[in-house]
Chain A
């Protein structure tokens, strides 16, 4: 199993913590309310095992996903339980609707919001690594969390890094997740970048 040493793991969490803080700030500006953040969790898991650690308990999730390629590759996803994503998007757009599913326009809006939040998160991480990420277009996905995280096709013997942060809007009680999923062997490039980052720290 791929493992990071304590300092590498701590650095990684701290780097993502900075990104997640920026993402929360962007979301807070859009919703005009405070976003409560959980302490990020980081796990290295076998592909099949990882599915059991995803949030959602098999329920339907709506998410916006983007793949970021740069100092490492990660699938970044902003996701909400289905009923919360309806509330979330209508709350941000300040519209009421009797429809029980997201309309196409609302899906597009969710993609744009996801794009802003995910990029707000990844931009400071790129700066920390003095590098650049290239992002795919944001993609709306609905299904179980493994579908939203693009984990439907089994990849036996692959190890993934899964990082999760829970976001909760304090007033409206809407909660969701930011998830980051990276697959080995790309993690080796990633750890080389983390080691370089650590070596450049003041000592």
Chain B
């Protein structure tokens, strides 16, 4: 069994958080999974806890979008791996993710997408 990691799941969709959580726990039952639903909650949580091992991030959320949030996270917590998991599959979004050095994974979410996201920790 791998040593427990902490993954922060940021998505306004309860369904998406539920699927990501279930798939990670299926692979790694002892990992710690945290959830937030918007940018403000995410920043507040990151301010108050040790840096997670991975952040999965949705883009289209109410308030600040995931790409702006990723940029803020990069400024303050620059070493944390981020995997964007989004339905917004435009080339420009893929490019912006590359510029921010965050992984890009297309929704719908399945075991393969979660496996890809976890690889960003390596």
Q: Contact residues of A with B, CB < 8 Å?
A: 6-7, 10-11, 13-14, 17-22, 24-25, 28-29, 33-35, 37, 39, 124, 128, 198, 201-203
Contacts and interface: CB of A to CB of B under 8 A. Distances in A.
Contacts of A6: 14
B18 A28 contact: no
B90 A35 contact: yes
B22 A201 contact: yes
**Contact-size category for B:** 20 to 34
A20 B23 CA distance: 24
B75 interface: no
A198 B60 CA distance: 21
Contact of B88 (A21, A33, A124, A201): A21
B62 A21 contact: no
Contacts of A11: 15
Contact of A202 (B14, B26, B90, B91): B26
A151 to B, nearest CB: 27
Contacts of A198: 15
B107 A39 contact: no
